[in-house]
Each structure stands twice: as C-alpha cells, then as structure tokens.
Chain A
Amino acid sequence: QKEVEQDPGPLSVPEGAIVSLNCTYSNSAFQYFMWYRQYSRKGPELLMYTYSSGNKEDGRFTAQVDKSSKYISLFIRDSQPSDSATYLCAIVKAAGNKLTFGGGTRVLVKP
C-alpha cells in the first residue's frame, strides 16, 4: 500500500464548477500538507501549504486537512480552463525534508 493515495482521474468538469480533489495517507507522522499543480512539460508549482487540521483559503483555492481521518482535500471554486492540469498532494513528516507525493489527479475544465 502506498503511503499517499490519490485518485488518478481524469476529472472532467464544466467551466465555473467546483473541483474537488482528495488524498488519503496512512502514516500519522505526516505533519505538513501541500498541494501542487503541474502543467504538461513543467515542474510542479506549489498552490497551498498547511500543517494543521482545518481549512485554509487562498483566492479560489481551499485546502482542508482532517488528521483524525488522514484525509486531505483541495477545492477549486469557479474553475477555469486554465485550471486544467495535474494536481498532486504532497506530505512531509515532521522531521526531514522528503516530500511524499500522491500519484496526481488529472483535471480537465471544459469551456
């Protein structure tokens, strides 16, 4: 079993819809949670970072962490075609700098 599980998609939504993405993890030692966006032929770009349970909002993006369930989510409101990309969750343990990534979810926002 992988340490971080993420549905590969693809997830297809109409423009303006809410995109809902999630990851589950198995190790309770994970303390820091990130979401990255990756366009084709580009490196991952950090979207959101959080280290506590609860919600964190940044513009159209909301990250949600539930440490008791080992479940993290990313919501994208008012989705745009430019949001079409692969979204990766990444988790870090309290000590050390190794990022453990989910497999990524491919999102397609149709005009």
Chain B
Amino acid sequence: KAGVTQTPRYLIKTRGQQVTLSCSPISGHRSVSWYQQTPGQGLQFLFEYFSETQRNKGNFPGRFSGRQFSNSRSEMNVSTLELGDSALYLCASSSEGQGVGYGYTFGSGTRLTVV
C-alpha cells in the first residue's frame, strides 16, 4: 500500500515569490492535514481538509492557503514568501473510519528554503 507522497522533496525560492506544494494521501483516506516543522517552533498545525472542505485552521497568516481536490489530493500555497517560511512542510492523511488518532500517516515532507 503506497504511503503519503509529497512533491517536490526540496525547493528553493526567493523572498516575495509564491510556492505550491502537493500531497497525495493514502488511497481511501479523505482527511489531509498540513504541518510546518522548524527547529525553533517544532511541528505546528496549518490546516486540515476533509472531503474538499477546510475543517480546521491553525494560527498562520492568510499567505498560507490550501485546497483539496475530489480525489483527496491536496495542495498548499504560500504567497509572498518570507525568510521565516523556510521549513519542512509535512502532510498527514488519516481515515475517518478508524477514529481519532488512527492512520495519521505522514509523508516525508517538502523542505522549503527561502533565500
């Protein structure tokens, strides 16, 4: 069974640019969550989508946005990049039917560097 796939693995962008990251969840999983991981702040929740609807949102500025498609694949977008946006962006998928806490499978992440 394929895991959570995130593309690209690495990305270098310039301040002010925008970036789009992609996440393909485990087949059958309808919930996709995004997290930002930095050495200083650790893992922080960005947002969660279920059946194309955003259900939860963390405390990040509006420059961070996301969406989910009908096949459960998800994208997140960061506009007007800042140096502080450099981080590992992780996507996790879960199956509602397994209950809270089950099936939170993470991808390997996209490492974004803003220069």
Spell out A's residues near B (CB within 8 Å): 31-32, 34, 36, 41-46, 49, 51, 88, 90, 92, 94, 96-104
Q: How large is the interface on B (under 10, 10 to 19, 20 to 34, 35 or more residues)?
A: 20 to 34
Given A90-B104, A92-B101, A98-B56, 16 other A-B residues pairs in contact with their CB atoms under 8 A: A43-B106, A43-B107, A43-B109, A44-B90, A44-B106, A88-B42, A92-B100, A97-B33, A97-B48, A97-B94, A98-B45, A99-B45, A99-B92, A100-B45, A101-B35, A101-B44
Spell out B's residues near A (CB within 8 Å): 4, 31, 33, 35, 42-45, 48, 50, 55-56, 58, 90, 92, 94, 100-102, 104-109, 111
Please give the distance in Å from A45's CB to the nearest CB on chain B.
7
CA of A69 to CA of B94, assembled, Å:
29
